[in-house]
Structure 1
């Protein structure tokens, strides 16, 4: 029998801290893309993450041979980070995060089609309403920032697919090994893209010289990614997923404050309206799934 979490308050605190520090990865990425390409910024993050996790994987005895699903997860995660970095190069952090948070809605749809999980009319209606909210946010941002405003949707789709893969893979091995090998394959994906794109002059993935400033930001991204991920793992080990999931939207608040204080960015009224629709739809879906998990339904 699965152990019932017995420290929900600790789980909530850990989840809150994770969500408040997660947007610092976006801050570091945005600063990096002022001097290097989005692809190189993403590559640097995974190089740092891999270097940090390697001794942990070996030390905790979670070393395992990678498989095809590790590779696929890495490609998806590398693509996701490349896309969000490309968006952050031109967009405010809060705007990009608002669009990215279509991810839980996309995950609900993909879980129904790929994993065969039931989805009733209530959750389907909430998902569709949330996607309308995405369109509300997208419209002014596309006018202001061009096609880059749609890149967070690419990130949302790739990350939702990545989460579906992790649902399968975490049943087969440790979460730390999964994070390590996913980072390795994401790193290889971005390195190959950079080696191909640099001689062809593809701006988003070119590799170029960098200094200690860029290296420091990349290291900070890797550390922040590792810390926030481990906080999430320990949070979900202590509290029910349904209680923690709505807290992920604190990332939008944190991202807004960071963007305001560092770059002077603040979303307009239309972006806030769309964001509110997305958040409301996402919270409804989470709570509905929590209720159904207890009742055994699919509505």
Structure 2
């Protein structure tokens, strides 16, 4: 999960650096299409079962749809917002995951984790307020991403218990490609800023390839993490992505967070660290005591 947190901001930076004439939907095609091209040969090489049931296919389609919408909202926001600001706002997602995990997956959640999540949400609000004043409604797109990604995390958690993570990721990537490619092809020549594809330049080819490659590696790591730990605990570790996003945003784009943003990020990280420490303590206390 920590490796995912380190790689995901790099993927976002490639998406942000993609020239503006390339529509967001075309970035999604590259993101998922490259995953399909990389993962299915890997499944064959590892002799993993590529067949799926109708019920599982429905789950893959639902997971793909939530990820498409979440990524579309986030990549659109990145074109107007600093990387660290967008990711800081996105970090209401662990709060949503914890609540949804308790409701739908019956995962335990106590009042301390709820309190820590609310504190983290308050930190996110410190980032949202100035961004909303400067950019308007586009500052809310990372919030939409957070809600959609929470659904993606829970679907991943439910599916990763029944199939190999590489199989889950490959089928979801294929479903996402099937969902997003036809609208892009139909919009060719329409002039739609979000859908109409263009012939990418050399630099755009580089950034699109970077998005697809890093998305593949990072989300396979995320799927493995969700296979081995509860969704609420894994999502708490995701707070560390803010550190990577701040560093990548500064190195790649020269974006420095404002003092208010830094305060919000600090509050978010502190609430995440508290949640992790609390979960580790509960885990230790729950272990059976060996007989004398």
**Alignment TM-score, normalising by the size of structure 1:** 0.83
Q: 1:291 maps to which residue?
A: 281
Equivalent of 1:100 in 90, 96, 107: 90
Q: How does 1:143-162 map to 2 (within 5 A)?
A: 143-162=133-152
RMSD value over aligned CA atoms?
2.9
CA contact (8 A) 1:246 1:286 kept: yes
CA contact (8 A) 1:37 1:204 kept: yes
Q: 1:26 maps to which residue?
A: 12
Cα distance in 1 for partners of 2:225, 2:108 equals: 26
Unaligned runs of 5+ in 1: 1-14
Q: 1:44 maps to which residue?
A: 30
Verify: 1:226 aligned to 2:216, yes or no.
yes
CA contact (8 A) 1:78 1:187 kept: no
Unaligned runs of 5+ in 2: 287-292
Q: Per-residue CA shift, 1:264-286, capped at 9, x if unaligned?
A: 21110111111222222223233
Change (3 A) 1:236 1:182: closer
Q: Count the aligned residue pairs.
A: 283
Shift >4 Å, 4+ stretches:
15-18, 195-202, 230-247
Q: Per-residue CA shift, 1:141-182, capped at 9, x if unaligned?
A: 111222221111222211111111112111211100111111
Q: 1:58 maps to which residue?
A: 44
Cα distance in 2 for partners of 1:16, 1:32 equals: 26
Equivalent of 1:82 in 65, 69, 72: 72
Cα distance in 2 for partners of 1:241, 1:131 equals: 18
Change (3 A) 1:57 1:157: same
Q: 1:176 maps to which residue?
A: 166
Cα distance in 2 for partners of 1:220, 1:114 equals: 35
CA contact (8 A) 2:82 2:255 kept: yes
Cα distance in 2 for partners of 1:196, 1:282 equals: 44
Cα distance in 2 for partners of 1:239, 1:289 equals: 11
SS at match of 1:204: coil
Change (3 A) 1:176 1:206: same
CA contact (8 A) 2:236 2:275 kept: no
**Alignment TM-score, normalising by the size of structure 2:** 0.85
Q: Per-residue CA shift, 1:69-99, capped at 9, x if unaligned?
A: 0110011111111111001111111111111
Q: 1:211 maps to which residue?
A: 201
